[in-house]
Amino acid sequence: MKKDSLLSLVPSGSEHRVQGQRTVALPGVTVDILTTRKIELQQWELRRLNDPYWRLYWPVSEGGVVEIDGEKTALKPGFMYLIPPHTTFSTTTTKPFGKWYAHFNLGPVADRVAPGIHRFPTSKAMRSVIPGLVEMSKKQEGVRFPWPTIQLVMSAVQCLPEEVWEKQHLDERVQRAMEFMHQHLGLKLTAEQVARHAGLSLRNLNHLFKQELNLAPMRVLLDYRLDEACRKLRHSQKSIDIIAEQCGLTNRYYLSRMLRQYRNTSPAAYRDESWG
């Protein structure tokens, strides 16, 4: 493979001087782990839950059942289960059971995989993480960095089949626009600003988003803002007013209206829902 021509790795005008040839360039990735817990459940009755983050389930005993589009999956020890963001599912129990679970995100592109549930056997490497998770849970306030949680999530994600990621081959300009919007949720962005950042005219931006995602750019931005608001409602104690402001949703009333229109819920109801 032909190497890139000589390039500068620092902005022009900088006092630094670093020049060379790029031989490998890999995309960046985000791993945002929202929570990891072990829980013993007497009852687990969720009805058509749909959240903007990945779910990892690792049952330690039998009894839990996940239902997606009428198909039921019994959670069994010795297996791990991943449910992508925006998968609508319900759950029930055949008897009390226990499980480890984690909620996490992988960034704006990887979080757009097709809905469903993925099952795979736990490996020796995965099982070796358990002592660290248990020890970390005992320390609570003393935990500085949850390495066992990161190991657990990453070992699970690596088991996903390649076709899950192959569906994410979006146009690079669409990816740039998506990442720009995702990184600036609190700003009053316009479609013109997004198009300029992606190196596109507004007309071409709209055309590419319709072609690649079947959505308008500003609708994608709204989805990102609602996703982030939902994550904060579930995984922080911030007030609804602060969450609305931080997510670029003007105020709590606009957040409430958008959640009702697009997610069929309210901030208070979403925060109070039973989940796991």
- 237, 8 Cβ separation under 8 angstroms: no
Q: Can you give the pLDDT at residue 12?
A: 62
Tokens of 203: 């007309």
Q: What are the structural domains of the chain?
A: 32-166 (2.60.120.280), 172-272 (1.10.10.60)
Q: Can you give the pLDDT at residue 167?
A: 64
* Calpha distance 234→270 (Å, rounded): 7
Q: Can you give the pLDDT at residue 141?
A: 60
* Calpha distance 71→51 (Å, rounded): 19
- 110, 167 Cβ separation under 8 angstroms: no
**pLDDT tens track of the chain, all 276 residues?**
444 445 555 556 667 777 777 777 666 678 888 888 889 999 999 888 889 999 999 999 999 999 999 999 999 999 999 999 999 999 999 999 999 999 999 988 788 888 999 999 999 888 888 888 877 776 656 556 678 888 889 999 999 988 887 766 778 899 889 989 999 999 999 999 999 999 999 999 999 999 988 899 999 999 999 999 999 998 899 999 999 999 999 999 999 999 999 988 899 998 887 566
Angle at 207 between CA 205 and CA 208, to 5 degrees: 65
Question: Against a cut of 0.75, is the pTM above it?
Answer: yes
Amino acid letter at 58? W
